[in-house]
Amino acid sequence: MRRAAGILPFCAGLAALLPAAVVAQAAPAWTTDPARSRLEFSGTLAGGRFDGRFARFAPEIAFDPADLAGSRFRVEIDTASADTQEAERDAMLKGPDFFAVERWPAARFEATRFVPTGPGRFEARGRLTLRDLTRDIALPFAFEAAADGRTATLSGGTTVRRLAFGVGQGEWRDTKWLGDEVEVRFDLRLHRK
Amino acid sequence: MQWRNSLHGYGAVAKFLHWAIVVLIIAQYLIIEAAEELPDGLEKFAIVTRHKSVGMLVLGLALVRIAWKLVNSRHPAPVPMPQTQRIAAAAGHGLLYLLLLAQPISGWLMSSAANYPVTFFGLFQFPALVGADPGAHEFYEEVHEALFATLATVAVLHALAAFYHHFRLRDDTLRRMLPFVGPRRR
């Protein structure tokens, strides 16, 4: 009995802590509709632009504009799904000089810091890992939730310097023909979990 | 030497356009044949990219040439020849002009279908003519090669006809298009 009495305050304390733990994870989790979501990139070749996309990527999104502290992005990108609509270039992108998909099959973006930049606009401060290199990047995006709060769109993009991630080894370090800057864009359709 | 055509020979502009296009097309063929031998990589990419820029230059020169022909209504007087030969010559020239346009355009289509940008030596980008489509790319590639075979054949016949006029008929047909050469003194 004395023993149980000792445990009671401990349980009460635990119960008091519980809401705090829930608050830290409070931003709602969203699932992504893959058929209506896109992750695209544009590079420059010989002074001209070309576009590509990643066909497979898995975003884990917990986001609430009212709870940026509890929000979190974690996106895994299947680098072997890079698609520029041309077999030779796709093979080169997946090869050892670029994404080296056999060694590093996934790229990853993770962000836990979010800064509001305007109405419905934010910037995620996170880390992008491509190949074996991880760099800080800032990702501006817009978040727009439907009136019922069940669906939302999350879209944005940034410019990534490929050479900062070792994408383009050997002769491809030269930026005369293949530009360093790669524009990355995404447009996600989200459903509340 | 004069810029415009006269009754006795082609002017400097027409001669320049004719021979510049001849030299560029021969260079285009040699460039791309050399690139085919290379492994995939930066060097091959750079050469193929140059081939595209030069191709757009040929297209531009061909358009200028056709425009010049249209505004420059004076042409050297035709050498007397049987009507069948005149018709054959006119048909051959018409086909050559058509091929000078079709050859670069088929290459442009080929690049567009493969989602490769076409630029003018990196200075500016031409719009894509069609959307990315790997199947269409293969098709345009075959068209590009078939058009070249046709262009080469017609161009060789054109040159043989010019030699025939020069060496057998001994008329001014070839001389009036040669650079730095005036018509034969009569």
Q: Which of A61, A59, A55, A119 is nearest to A93 (CA)?
A: A55
**Domain span at A105:** 27-192
Q: How far is A113 from chain B (nearest CA, A)?
A: 37
Q: Is residue A17 part of a domain?
A: no
Q: For chain A, how many structural domains are there in total?
A: 1
Q: Is residue A5 part of a domain?
A: no
Best residue of A44, A86, A89, A92 to probe chain B, by most B CBs closer than 10 Å: A86
Q: Which CATH number goes with the domain that contains B157?
A: 1.20.950
pLDDT digit string (tens) for B84-114? 888 998 999 999 999 999 999 999 999 999 9
Q: Is residue B186 part of a domain?
A: no
Query: What is the model's pTM?
Result: 0.83
Q: Is residue B83 part of a domain?
A: yes
Q: For chain B, how many structural domains are there in total?
A: 1
**Domain span at B70:** 12-177
**Measured distance CA(B119)–CA(B121) in Å, rounded:** 6
**How far is the CA of A48 from the CAs of B104, B118, B123, in angstroms?**
18, 7, 9
pLDDT digit string (tens) for A34-82? 999 999 999 999 889 999 999 999 999 999 999 999 999 999 999 999 9
Tally C-beta pairs within 8 A across A and B: 59
Q: Is residue B7 part of a domain?
A: no
Q: Is residue B3 part of a domain?
A: no
Q: Chain A residues with CB inside 8 Å of B124's CB?
A: 47
Q: How far is B152 from chain A (nearest CA, A)?
A: 29
Q: Is residue A116 part of a domain?
A: yes
Q: Is residue A129 part of a domain?
A: yes
Q: Is residue B60 part of a domain?
A: yes
pLDDT digit string (tens) for B146-163? 999 999 999 999 999 999
Q: Is residue B28 part of a domain?
A: yes
**Measured distance CA(A165)–CA(A134) in Å, rounded:** 7
Q: Chain B residues with CB inside 8 Å of A87's CB?
A: 134
